[in-house]
Structure 1
Amino acid sequence: MGNSLKRILLLGLGWLCVTVGFIGIFLPLLPTTPFLLLASACFMRGSPPIAQWLHQHPKFGSIIYNWHQYRSVDRRIKLRANVFIFLSFSLSIFIVPNIWQKVMLAVLAMILLIWFNRLPETTSVSHTSKNTEQGGK
């Protein structure tokens, strides 16, 4: 695959992820953070200036900074994610008809919650991404 085609695909995927992540701010069951991290990865390979813009964004920059710098998630985002993971899996378990599906969803929810809650946390000292205290390691 040529460099220009690869760059176009990375840029397209990056902007798609930014769009879905932005929509996730308003739709409670759609996660924002994973899409922003994927967008960041695409932009770092496809367009470093756009990646820099995303990393310096007033709302999204701290999420990406904490992940790239510390491999950690902000405590507020983690709490919100836990609530929505629990609610979405509970709704799914309630909706599916078969017991094996309910058990599978419950097991997946437990695995996801255990993995997610083991990630280190950062606590923002101020609203800038540069001022964080790392905890939970």
Structure 2
Amino acid sequence: MNELLAQRLLKLTGMLFVGLALLGVVLPILPTTPFLLVAASCFAKSSPRLYKILLSHKVFGPLIHHWQTSGSIPKKAKTIALTTIILAAIGSCYQLDDNLLRVLVIVLVAGPFIFLWRLPLSAEDQQT
């Protein structure tokens, strides 16, 4: 019974993170890929069918595959992610009147930006 409960909780958690990833597609403040990676991990342990569906997605499947096999991301995904972070931070800072809030925005995006910047490129992108 405990194993069944654990599987259901993992499946539910995976679905929650897929939902957050979908929000991240339209909201620049939410990251998409990390949520999908968590969802893939949950589905790998709870639902082979949902895991297969996630990996076969034409946009997100390759990102998840690269991450799981080599801890890397494609150059295009890295460029889009870093550009989005920069544009969201600039847009936020432009709209804020308080310099302290502007600094807070920059501090909050610095960690994810540095993390993404330091990630290795996928093997295919390193050869070009």
Q: Determine the structure 2 residue equivalent to 1:135.
A: 126
2: CA distance, partners of 1:10 / 1:86: 33
> Partner amino acid for 1:102?
R
Q: Determine the structure 2 residue equivalent to 1:55.
A: 55
Count of aligned pairs: 126
Percent identical across equivalent pairs? 33
Equivalent residue runs for 1:30-41 within 5 Å: 30-41=30-41
Q: Which has the higher strand share?
A: 1
Quick check: 2:40–2:54 contact (8 Å CA) kept in 1?
yes
Q: Determine the structure 2 residue equivalent to 1:71.
A: 71
Q: Determine the structure 1 residue equivalent to 2:22.
A: 22
TM-score, length of structure 2 as denominator length? 0.80
Secondary structure at 1:45 match in 2: helix
TM-score, length of structure 1 as denominator length? 0.75
Q: Determine the structure 2 residue equivalent to 1:86.
A: 86
2: CA distance, partners of 1:4 / 1:96: 48
Q: Which has the higher helix share?
A: 2
2: CA distance, partners of 1:86 / 1:51: 32
Quick check: 1:96–1:102 contact (8 Å CA) kept in 2?
yes
Gaps of 5+ in 1: 123-131
- Root mean square deviation of aligned Cα: 2.4
Secondary structure at 1:72 match in 2: coil
